[in-house]
Chain A
Amino acid sequence: MDWNFKEGFPIYKQIVDQMSQFIASGAIKPGGRLASVRELALDAGVNPNTMQRALSELERHGLLHSERTSGRFITDDENVLKKLRSDLSMGYIEEFFINLEKLGLTNEEIVWAVTDYAKQIAVKKGE
């Protein structure tokens, strides 16, 4: 997996966010079995306790579940995955609005700019 940690944010939270993205985008397969805590910690270059803390949080969110003998699995519950994608999308949109508001755009201007952008993309793709 392609991990990328930013400075100054708790690492376990960044793992939760990045794993959520991996799951939402299908980069790690729904229903699949997850590697062991130590393997994941090595892959991410973090402490196993930090990885454990992140996985427990992902379990609480329903994205992972443990089976006592066979390990930890990624959810294949479509409802959970749908909600995850929608939550992540809302997060991106929120961030996007915050950034554009900082530039002084009103909500209407943002919506107008997005519509315009979508039209441009459509034209480019049509060519």
Chain B
Amino acid sequence: MGVIECRDLTRKFGRTDALDSVNLSIESGRIVGLLGPNGAGKTTMIKIANGLLKPTSGILTIAGNKPGKETKAVTAYLPDREFLPGYMKVKEIVNMYSDFFGDFRRDKAEDMLAELGIDPGKRFKNLSKGNREKVQLIMVMSREAEVYFLDEPIAGVDPAARDYILHVIISNYNENAAVVISTHLIEDVENILDEVVFIRNGRIVLHDNADDLRAERGKSIDKIFREDFKWQADL
């Protein structure tokens, strides 16, 4: 059984099925791309996994538990928007993470912040946009979690920042953990993925090993995605 399991996971918003009977199993030690256009259901799934939304029906478990106190202790989550309080100083944010999460590696976080030359005495809101994004990622990746959910970690960043972000992910994730990266910018992340999950209109339409898929179709994941999702207006 996978460390993340979805069984008939369904979430309705009014009459729309944001997720429609999703069955998915993700094993430990894998970096998985959750790939789909905007509105496909990626963020809905990640929010359910982190206890921010309840499923309408079906079930999602992390290490055998429904989202709750036990799962939050082993799950590191990077939301798709700014989530750290702006009034806090960077060092206070580090203290907060250290208090909240037993698996937080303060030394790692402090090393990465120092490497970037970020002043720990500065308030979060006074950092540049790029540095705010990096600080958030550093906090999340400094945890030795069993599962990482990174929701659109590279949306709207420049190529140098993108390389930095991918570098931080690969160099810090716990090797026995599952990493789920949601994105619609496939070309930028595909080389670091073990597996890809294509999601469309709330349904999983493909789940495969990235290299097997390249061998089978003779194309990059990005090209395969563009083909399979042709005519979707928001690509």
A85 to B171, CA, bound (A): 34
In the complex where A5-B191, A45-B166, A46-B191 touch, is A38 in contact with B171 (Cβ < 8 A)? yes
Name the segment of B48-56, B81-89, B98-106, B215-223 touching the other chain. Answer: B215-223
| Cβ contact within 8 Å between B217 and A49 | no
Whether B170 lies near A49 (C-beta < 8 A) is no
A-B contact pairs, 30 of them (CB 8 A): A5-B191, A7-B219, A7-B222, A7-B223, A8-B214, A8-B217, A8-B218, A8-B219, A8-B220, A9-B215, A9-B218, A10-B212, A10-B214, A11-B191, A11-B211, A11-B214, A13-B211, A38-B171, A42-B167, A46-B191, A46-B192, A47-B170, A47-B191, A47-B192, A47-B193, A48-B170, A49-B29, A49-B30, A49-B194, A53-B211
- CB under 8 Å from chain B, chain A span 35-51: 38, 41-42, 45-50
Which residue of the partner chain A has the closest CB to B179?
A47
How far is B193's CA from A53's CA once the two chains are assembled, in angstroms?
13
Given contacts A42-B171, A47-B192, A47-B193, 8 further A-B contacts (CB under 8 A): A7-B223, A9-B218, A10-B215, A13-B215, A45-B163, A46-B191, A48-B175, A49-B29
Residue B31, interface by CB 8 Å: yes
CB-CB contacts below 8 Å: B183-235 with A = 191-194, 210-212, 214-215, 217-220, 222-223
A49 to B193, CA, bound (A): 9
Residue of B nearest to A9 (CB): B214
Per the CB 8 Å criterion, the residue count for chain A at the interface is: 18
A97 within 8 A of B: no
Which residues of chain B come closer than 8 Å to A10, judged between CB atoms? 211-212, 214-215
A46 to B217: give the CA distance in the assembly, Å.
20
Name A residues whose Cβ lies closer than 8 Å to a Cβ of B: 5, 7-13, 38, 41-42, 45-50, 53
Task: Please give me the residue from chain A that is nearest to B175 by CB atom.
Answer: A48
Residues of B contacting A53 in the complex (Cβ-Cβ under 8 angstroms) = 211
Residues of A within 8 A of B170 (CB): 38, 41-42, 47-48
Chain A residues whose C-beta falls within 8 Å of the C-beta of B217 in the assembled complex: 8
Are B171 and A47 in touch, CB under 8 angstroms?
no
Residues of A within 8 A of B223 (CB): 7-8
For A12, give the chain B residue with the smallest CB separation: B211
Measured in the bound complex, the distance between the Cα atoms of B214 and A13 in whole Å is 11
* Closest A-B pairs by Cβ, 9 of them: A10-B211, A7-B220, A8-B219, A10-B215, A8-B218, A47-B192, A46-B191, A10-B214, A49-B194
Residues on A with C-beta less than 8 A from B222 are 7
Interface centre among B29, B166, B192, B194 (most CB of A within 10 A): B192
Residues of A within 8 A of B193 (CB): 47
What residue in chain A is nearest B171 (Cβ atoms)? A42
Instruction: A13 to B163: give the CA distance in the assembly, Å.
Output: 23
A55 to B29, CA, bound (A): 17
Residues from chain A with Cβ under 8 Å of B167 in the complex = 42
Cα distance A11–B215 in the bound complex, in angstroms: 9
**Which A residues lie within 8 Å of B218 (CB)?**
8-9
Q: Which residues of B contact A45 (CB under 8 A)?
A: 163, 166, 191-192
In the complex where A11-B191, A45-B192 touch, is A50 in contact with B220 (Cβ < 8 A)?
A: no
Query: In the complex, A13 Cα to B219 Cα: how many Å?
Result: 14
Q: In the complex, how many angstroms separate the beta carbon of B97 from the nearest chain A beta carbon? A: 23
CA distance A53 to B209 in the complex (A): 13
